[in-house]
Structure 1
Amino acid sequence: MGNTAGMPGLRGIDHIGITVPNVEQAVDFFVNIVGCEPFYELGPFEASELLSKTLDVHPEAVMKKLRFLRCKNGANLELFEYSSPDQNTQVPKNSDIGGHHLAFYVDDFDQALAYLIFNGIEVMGEPVVRTAGPSGGQTWVYFKAPWGLQLELVSFPKGKLYEQDYDQKLWHPAYPDQ
Structure 2
Amino acid sequence: MTHDYVRGIDHVGVTVPDIEAATTFLIEAFGARVVYESFTTDQPPQGSPEIDRDLNLHPGTRLVAARLVQLGRGPEIELFQLQAEVQRPASRPSDFGLQHLAIYVDDMAEALRCFESAGGQMLSGPNPFLFPKEEGCGNLFCYGRTPWGMMVEFLTYPSGMGYERGTSLRRWHSCGS
Structure 1 length as normaliser, TM-score? 0.86
Corresponding position of 2:38: 42
Kept in 1, the 8 Å contact 2:46–2:63? The answer is yes
| 1:64 lines up with 2:77 in the alignment | no
Q: 1:22 aligns with which of 18, 37, 45?
A: 18
Which residue identity does 2:126 align to in structure 1? P
1:173 and 1:95 mapped to 2: Cα distance?
28
Structure 1 consecutive aligned stretches of length 4 or more whose deviation exceeds 6 Å:
none
Corresponding position of 1:73: 73
Identity among equivalent positions (%) equals 30
Corresponding position of 1:166: 167
Shift of 1:158: 1.2
Kept in 2, the 8 Å contact 1:141–1:152? The answer is yes
Corresponding position of 1:91: 90
Kept in 2, the 8 Å contact 1:51–1:59? The answer is no
2:115 and 2:86 mapped to 1: Cα distance?
34
Q: 3-state DSSP class of the match of 1:125?
A: coil
Larger RCO of the pair (alpha carbons < 8 Å, separation 6+): 2
Shift of 1:87: 2.2
Mark the runs of 5 or more structure 2 residues left unpaired by the alignment: none
1:78 and 1:93 mapped to 2: Cα distance?
20
Change (3 A) 1:131 1:16: closer
Deviations 1:82-108 (A, max 9, x none): 1112222x1111101125111111112
Change (3 A) 1:142 1:131: closer
Corresponding position of 2:155: 154
Q: 3-state DSSP class of the match of 1:74?
A: coil
Which residue identity does 1:24 align to in structure 2? E
2:135 and 2:84 mapped to 1: Cα distance?
44
Q: 3-state DSSP class of the match of 2:8?
A: coil
Change (3 A) 1:63 1:132: closer
Kept in 2, the 8 Å contact 1:121–1:144? The answer is yes
2:58 and 2:21 mapped to 1: Cα distance?
24
